[in-house]
């Protein structure tokens, strides 16, 4: 299912949407200080990662959808696990979850957004 050439491969592995070889982000690991660094072009196929100025403003819509999914999941999990949920508990848990997952939400929404516009093209320069 997660084979090269699919959008899901590019999104989940943070790979270039065009060649699926180069990394989207400069730092591969989980870091709260370096998560946002992006290459300006793909290191492998030179595809621009910012096709136009302000390209990633649209990723806010994707971020909103992911945040909504996290909010609903948290609410369902709390209502199953706890007898009673107070507004303060829910807001505290939500703020914590969003802070913890912020790098993930940021990267995932950018990866999904760029995959809306740039499609996979197998290039002869890309290995394997």
11 interacts with Zn ion by CB under 5 A: no
22 interacts with Zn ion by CB under 5 A: yes
As a three-state string, the secondary structure of 13-61 is: CCECCCCCCCECECCCCCCCCCCCCECCECCCCCCECCCCCCHHHHHHH
| Shortest distance (Å) from residue 50 CB to Zn ion | 14
Q: Which is nearer to Zn ion, 23 or 36 (CB)?
A: 23
Q: Which is nearer to Zn ion, 16 or 59 (CB)?
A: 16
Q: Is 110 exposed, middle or buried (0-12, 13-18, 19+ CB in 10 A)?
A: buried
* Number of chain residues interacting with Zn ion (CB under 5 A): 8
19 interacts with Zn ion by CB under 5 A: yes
Which residue in the set 45, 78, 94, 98 belongs to the binding site for Zn ion (CB under 5 A)?
45
Could you give the 3-state DSSP secondary structure of residue 119? coil
Task: Candidates 3-11, 45-53, 62-70, 104-112: pick the segment binding Zn ion (CB under 5 A).
Answer: 45-53
42 interacts with Zn ion by CB under 5 A: yes
Whole-number Å distance between alpha carbons of 36 and 107: 7
Task: Candidates 38-46, 53-61, 67-75, 93-101: pick the segment binding Zn ion (CB under 5 A).
Answer: 38-46
Q: How many CA atoms lie within 13 A of 79 on its CB side?
A: 7
Q: In the complex, which residues of this chain contact Zn ion (CB under 5 A)?
A: 16, 18-19, 22, 42, 44-45, 47
């Amino acid at each position: 299912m997660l084979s090269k050439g699919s959008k899901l491969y590019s999104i989940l592995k943070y790979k270039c949407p065009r060649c699926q070889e180069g990394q989207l982000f400069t730092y591969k690991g989980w870091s709260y200080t370096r998560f946002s660094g992006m290459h300006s072009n793909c290191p492998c196929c030179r595809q621009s990662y910012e096709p136009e100025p302000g390209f990633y403003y649209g990723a806010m819509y994707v971020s909103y959808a992911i945040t909504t999914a996290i909010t609903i999941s948290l609410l369902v999990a709390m209502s199953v696990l706890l007898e009673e949920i107070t507004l303060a508990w829910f807001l505290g848990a939500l703020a914590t979850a969003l802070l913890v997952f912020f790098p993930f939400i940021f990267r995932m929404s950018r990866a999904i957004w760029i995959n809306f516009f740039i499609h996979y093209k197998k290039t002869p320069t890309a290995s394997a």
